[in-house]
């Protein structure tokens, strides 16, 4: 049985709009963690590091649902960010965002 994934990765460019969108997602998802450990977000450092990483939009079909950011060093890839939009968290590959779940037929 062959299955196909509805997920794909789309490379992100080094634009202010894409950096800001990524930063918003990270701050939304990590805000409680940052507050708990008295950490401050530094947009300037984020912007400086962005072009040195491989950044991708995680898409479900054509809908962006998250961010994957990798650093490549000495033939190794390091995950710097793996963020999923809140409405898509905890859902399987067949589901849509929260509130739009599809149901199968009852047995």
| CA–CA distance, 26 with 67 (Å, rounded to integer) | 9
Cβ neighbors of 93 (< 8 A, separation 6 or more) are 5, 6, 7, 60
At 1, the pLDDT band (50, 70, 90 cuts) reads: very low
Q: Read off the pLDDT of residues 44-82 as tens digits, 9 standing for 90 and up.
A: 999 999 999 999 999 999 999 999 999 999 999 999 999
Work out the percent of the chain whose per-residue pLDDT is above 90: 76
Task: Tell me the whole-structure pTM to 2 decimals.
Answer: 0.82
At 92, the pLDDT band (50, 70, 90 cuts) reads: confident
């Amino acid at each position: 049985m062959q299955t196909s994934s509805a997920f794909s990765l789309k490379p992100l460019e080094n634009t202010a709009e894409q950096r800001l969108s990524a930063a918003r997602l990270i701050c939304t998802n990590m805000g409680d963690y940052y507050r708990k450990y008295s950490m401050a977000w530094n947009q300037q450092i984020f912007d400086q590091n962005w072009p040195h990483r491989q950044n991708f939009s995680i898409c479900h079909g054509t809908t962006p649902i998250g961010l994957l950011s990798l650093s490549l060093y000495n033939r190794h890839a390091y995950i710097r960010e793996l963020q999923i939009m809140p409405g898509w968290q905890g859902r399987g590959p067949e589901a849509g965002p929260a509130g739009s779940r599809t149901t199968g037929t009852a047995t």
